[in-house]
Amino acid sequence: MKISLRLRYILFIGILHIVLIVMIFVLLRDQKIYFIASEVLILISIIISVQIYRDFLRPIEYVRSGIEAIKDKDFAIKFVQTGKSEIDILIEVYNLMIDQLREERIKLNEQHFFLEKLIEASPIAILIMDFDEKITSVNEKARRLFQKNEDFWLGKKLEELDFALFPQLEDLQDGESRTVKINSIETYKVQRSHFMDQGFRRSFLMIEELTTDILESEKKAYGKVIRMMAHEVNNTLGATGSILQTTRNYLAEDSFLDLREALGVASDRNKKLTIFMRNFADVVRLPVPFKEKTDVVGLLKSVGTFMRPMAEQKGIRLETDFFETGEFWMDLDSGQMEQVFVNVIKNAIEACETGNLIQLKVSGGKVLIRNNGKPIEQQAAIQLFNPFFSTKKDGQGIGLTLTKEILLSHGFTFSLTSGINGWTVFEISVPN
């Protein structure tokens, strides 16, 4: 067993004085004066030894008190100098150390507080993970962007989150960034990085939503192109149409039949081209919605009735299966929303074959138009709402672009996806 220094000192002093007392008793017991003087000296020696012992223990007590204060992270405790140089040197060193530790802690706390405020106020969504890749904190932007409170995030891994964005980030490494598009509309820029915490590597994600900026840039770009095209083409079509009609009228009805027929075909083609350009221009000239209280269920039923004959011609069933009973009133532009429903149902009919089914539903503040026809290919799904993109041979790429503009101008969120269950769903969500 290891004996402490204090115990060894006590044993040494104790044994030494016992031996001295015994020797004095044996040698000087007959000489009273020397015996008494020796006993007094022994007593003085014991007192001095005790004092030395106390002086020896005092620095140790200071050190112990200092260690306890550091353990408790109490950097406000400082020792007063005693006037003894050996102890005062130790006290001075301790006080300097505690001052430096206090300053470092204050500095770290200020930096940590500043960093927390910076992360919380960041316009970019930030998710911070622990050493096991589980989320430990999210900032306000992330909570608002995904409409989930902090309790939803804590302790979960990315693959456990019920959002279409995160499964596409499983192979994203630290230092990499990626632009991800989901639901054919929502676009995010995601960057993954890391920092060191207590010697361990911790990762975090920065998620920036680019949807609004990209949509605005797209609209400005194709709006400018369409206006230029419409201006030049309409000017030309107006003049050539007038010339063709005038020339055709000058020709006698019983002569130049072939030429009259050719001019008629050219004139009809001019009219179709005019309509073609008008469709493009409608996307740019889309007026601000004139919103009024409208029964969405009634509007969807009306459009369903209007489109049913077109579906039945192809042997397709069009059903209205409204989960919500009664009426469902909303502020919207009924004319524009009717055009949206017509475009979506028309696309569903074109994707279906004989025997397929189209269902119109209203449930929980959402409008669902779904079909079990040909699913949307993954490559096409990313570009569906891009201007001028179409999967149809003679398509103009206008229908879904116009649909997108109308829904965005109403402030509605929407998506068009094909599920593994074989159903393609166009979902329109009404904000709370």
402-430 confidence digits (pLDDT tens): 788 888 888 888 888 887 778 888 888 87
Burial of 190-223, coded b for 16+ CB within 10 Å and e otherwise, reads bbbeeeeeeeeebbbbbbbbeeeeebeeebeebb
Give pLDDT, residue 334: 86
Cα distances (angstroms) measured from residue 118 to each of 121, 125, 128, 141: 5, 12, 14, 12
pLDDT at 322 over 60: yes
Cross-strand partners of 360: 320, 369
What pLDDT score was predicted for residue 231? 57
Which regions of 149-237 does DSSP assign to beta strands (E)? Answer: 177-182, 186-197, 200-209
Higher pLDDT, 206 or 39: 206
> Max alpha carbon distance in the chain (Å)?
172
| pLDDT given at position 366 | 85
The position carrying tokens 């927390």 is 116
User: Which residues fall within 8 angstroms of residue 236, CB to CB, at 6 or more apart?
Assistant: none
More confident residue, 339 or 230: 339
**Per residue in 157-180, pLDDT tens?**
888 887 878 877 878 888 888 888
Strand order in the sheet with 357-363: 317-320, 357-363, 366-371, 424-429, 413-418
What global pTM score does this model have? 0.52
Q: Has residue 325 got a pLDDT over 60? A: no
Q: Phi and psi at residue 218, in whole multiples of 5°? A: -60, -45
